[in-house]
């Protein structure tokens, strides 16, 4: 993820403002606020400015995913070229849904909040939608998870752990 974030910082940073790059990276699946904070650190964006940009960018797609992804997948499955891709995405998301078994809310929040490969808001939203988690419950769990991930990644990306110790 760091090399991908560095690529965006190096290439997009030439054409748009550093804060816009941070926002765009935070919107993207896989990168999300985790990548956004790495990019913010690389581009010298102040942490106080970077955090709200990353949180908003990461959270923005979540309601749309929760509300519409099942309909979009159903429509895409009607076409042979996209049917396999959608099925693979659904299977991959459902394989990661074990984190929700012990408790929907806490499981979803921790799944989104612990910055590991394959976790985050996009995948968490997909899992919540496929498991028919109540919209409001999923939304709150996702925002809390994003905040947890933001705290963890702020410490890592800005070297705050070294300053504390």
Residue 52 domain flag: yes
Residues 138 and 66 in one domain: yes
What is the structure's pLDDT at 50? 95
Domain of 82 in residue numbering reads as: 62-150
Cβ contacts of residue 17 below 8 Å, gap of 6+?
none
- What pLDDT digit, counting tens, does each position of 93-128 carry? 877 776 566 678 999 999 999 988 888 999 999 999
Residue 55 domain flag: yes
Residues 47 and 85 in one domain: no
Residues 98 and 77 in one domain: yes
What is the structure's pLDDT at 63? 97
Residues 146 and 66 in one domain: yes
Residues 94 and 24 in one domain: no
State how many domains the chain has: 2
Residues 76 and 131 in one domain: yes
Residue ending a domain, among 33, 59, 85, is: 59
What is the structure's pLDDT at 139? 96
Residues 51 and 90 in one domain: no
Residue 12 domain flag: yes
- What pLDDT digit, counting tens, does each position of 60-81 carry? 999 999 999 999 999 999 999 8
Residues 71 and 129 in one domain: yes
Residues 42 and 106 in one domain: no
With b meaning 16 or more CB within 10 Å and e meaning fewer, what string describes 52-86? ebbbebbbebbeebbeebeeebeeeeeeeeeeeeb
pTM equals 0.85
Closest C-alpha among 153, 130, 139 to residue 105: 139
Residues 143 and 71 in one domain: yes
């Amino acid at each position: 993820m760091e090399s991908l974030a560095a690529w965006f910082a190096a290439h997009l940073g030439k054409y748009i403002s550093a804060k816009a790059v941070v926002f765009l990276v935070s919107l993207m699946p896989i990168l999300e606020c985790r990548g956004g904070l790495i990019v913010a650190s690389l581009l010298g964006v102040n942490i106080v400015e970077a955090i709200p940009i990353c949180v908003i960018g990461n959270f923005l797609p979540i309601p749309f995913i929760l509300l519409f992804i099942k309909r979009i997948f159903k429509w895409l499955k009607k076409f042979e070229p996209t049917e396999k891709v959608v099925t693979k995405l659904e299977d991959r998301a459902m394989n990661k849904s074990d984190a929700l078994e012990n408790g929907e809310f806490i499981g979803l929040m921790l799944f989104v909040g612990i910055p590991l490969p394959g976790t985050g808001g996009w995948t968490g939203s997909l899992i919540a939608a496929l498991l028919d988690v109540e919209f409001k419950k999923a939304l709150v769990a996702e925002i809390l998870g994003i905040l947890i991930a933001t705290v963890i990644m702020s410490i890592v990306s800005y070297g705050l752990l070294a300053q504390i110790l």
